[in-house]
Chain A
Amino acid sequence: MGERKARVAAEVGLHARPAATFVQTAMKAPMDITVARTSGGDPVSGKSILQILALDVRQGEEVVIKAEGEGSEEVLDRLAEIVSTP
């Protein structure tokens, strides 16, 4: 399974704007995407804005994003970039 770790850079954490951008990108991908805190906790679906908002990751926290299959590396790169862009 491909994975990327990224530190949340947005001052507001992964909320509204960054969460929406993340989910919009994840939804375009054909494979499942999961997101979890590297510090622990169950992974959530990267395609559900409800679950991403529930995760409530704050600025400075690190998440691990997972996806597998053809094209997953590009998707993971893109999603990691969204998370780590302020």
Chain B
Amino acid sequence: MTTVLAPVEGAAVGLSAVPDPVFSAGMVGPGAAIDPCRGPGAAVAPISGKIMKLHPHAYVIVGDDGRGVLVHLGIDTVQLRGKGFRLLAAEGDRVRAGQPVVAWDPAEIEAGGRSPVCPVVALDALDGTVTALAEGAVRAGDKLFQWT
């Protein structure tokens, strides 16, 4: 059982609310999303483990049990090629759940015409294993969902 934490502060929403069918249709996998507070802040690690992949706009943390969680900061933000994101850790680093990984400002993303909504996905999770989705306001580091 893995407890996945909210990587950013904001309103927890279902993946189906993400304005991108790749995420909303669960194509990348099950999970949840956060409509983040507009304002500068740090996105944190949703689980403890190793940063397997770190792009300015998205990262994957893999736990010691081999489970990987993807955090994607905003939609179509790959197009920004890193502009507006500042790395606070490095690929390969071991991190604790709740540790800052990327500094960014969702308001800046929104001002650029993109959705700042952040999908949080349990990669390769089997059907029905993602449960107890948080509802309403969450702070970074609060429980977001359970992955059994």
Q: Is the CB of B29 within 8 A of A53?
A: no
Q: Does A84 contact B (CB under 8 A)?
A: no
- Asked whether A53 and B22 contact (CB < 8 A) given A12-B78, A16-B28, the answer is no
B-contact 0/1 string along A18-35, CB 8 Å cutoff: 011100100000000000
Q: Determine the main DSSP class of A at the interface with B.
A: helix
Instruction: Assess whether B124 is in contact with A48, with CB atoms less than 8 Å apart.
Output: yes
Number of residues on chain A facing chain B (CB within 8 A): 14
B78 touching A15, Cβ below 8 Å: yes
**Which of A16, A21, A24, A56 neighbours the largest number of chain B CB atoms within 10 Å of its CB?**
A16
Give chain B residues whose Cβ lies under 8 Å from the Cβ of A19. Answer: 28
Which residue of B52, B58, B72 contacts A54 across the interface (Cβ within 8 Å)?
Answer: B52
Contact A50 B68 (CB under 8 A): yes
Is B13 engaged at the interface, CB distance under 8 Å to the other chain? no
Is B27 a contact of A21 with CB atoms below 8 Å? yes
Tell me which residues across on chain B come within 8 A of A54, comparing CB atoms: 52-53, 60
Minimum CB–CB distance from B142 to chain A (whole Å) comes to 24
Residues of B within 8 A of A56 (CB): 53
> Does B42 count as interface, using CB distance less than 8 angstroms?
no
The distance from the CB of A57 to the nearest CB of chain B, in whole angstroms, is 12
Given the interface pairs A16-B22, A20-B22, the reply to whether A49 lies near B53 with Cβ below 8 Å is no
Is B70 in contact with chain A by the CB < 8 A criterion?
yes
Set A16, A20, A24: member contacting B78, Cβ < 8 A: A16
In the bound complex, what is the Cα–Cα distance between A48 and B68 (angstroms)?
11
Closest 5 CB pairs of A and B: A20-B27, A50-B123, A50-B68, A17-B22, A20-B28
- Given A16-B58, A24-B27, 6 more A-B residue pairs with CB atoms under 8 Å apart are A16-B28, A19-B28, A49-B28, A50-B123, A50-B124, A53-B60
